[in-house]
Amino acid sequence: MFWILVINSFVVLKKLETMKYLLLIPLFFISCKQENKRPSVQEIIDKTIDAAGGENYENVTITFTFRKIRYTSTRKNGLFELTRTFSDSLGEVKDVLSNSGFERFRNGKKIDLPDFTATKYSNSVNSVHYFVQLPYGLNASSAQKELVGEAEIDGKKYYEIKVAFSVEGGGTDHEDVYMYWIDQKNFKVDYFAYKFYTDQGGIRFRKAYNPRIIEGLRFVHNRNCKAGPCRSVDLATLDEPFNAGKLELLSQIEAEDFAVAILKAE
């Protein structure tokens, strides 16, 4: 009788142990599934902006030189002012784009411009600041973001993020489309491409190099490559000809002489 009780107890313990492992199996798979879950497009963009400077973008003055023209941007408490300053045969020209709109000054005096000309200059000023301060602009209210896939470039894995802009708030170039390749480990933008429609249109693919951290903000240079006629190429596939060395280098995009001042929020 004693041995029967011992054997029965052993059987019960074995059953309990088996049930314990059976209960752990679904928990293991749930854990694996959570670890392998791909982040949302907004989570990726937020981490990308954080990796490049995050909150430092919100209250800051950034000054730099690009193609012998001096640019300055100031953001503070939700207000912004983007400027470029250069000299021509008639003196100093200063363009100012802010929450209030666009203005041009010559030798300190405001110049009245036709709407078409003002829009052209405004877009030019905004474009330079936008590209130099990427990825900050990816969380603009007019930006429509989509995670379209993943890719591997030079042995690194990337998220492919497509960004388009709504008509309202997207400017006159709202039809332009962008693709960003964001490193899955460090969330840095190593490559991006865009399709534009002005001046007969075209596609550009850019590779970042020479990264620098200045007062907590990350800036890079870019190798600017031509990728074909505007309507004939899918931006998400451009990593393939780049890996194969088939893209034509057009220029080097190099902003220099940075000065960054973090401002105190009020």
Q: What is the 3-class SS of 170-214, one letter each residue?
A: CCCCCCCEEEEEEECCCCCEEEEEEEECCCCCEEEEEEEEEEEEE
pLDDT of residue 33: 46
Our CA angle for 94, 100, 104, nearest 5°, is 20
User: How far is residue 236's CA from residue 238's CA, in Å, rounded to a whole number?
Assistant: 6
User: How far is residue 194's CA from residue 176's CA, in Å, rounded to a whole number?
Assistant: 7
User: What one-character DSSP code corresponds to residue 57?
Assistant: G
Residue whose entry in the numeric block shows the structure tokens 């080097």 = 252
Report CA dihedral (237, 239, 243, 249) to the nearest 10 degrees: 100
The rounded average pLDDT for each run of 10 residues, N- to C-terminus, in the chain (266 residues) is 45 50 48 64 97 95 97 95 96 96 97 95 95 94 94 95 77 76 98 86 93 97 87 86 92 96 87
What pTM did the predictor assign?
A: 0.81
pLDDT of residue 31: 45
Is there a contact between 67 and 132 (Cβ–Cβ < 8 Å)?
A: no
pLDDT of residue 173: 55
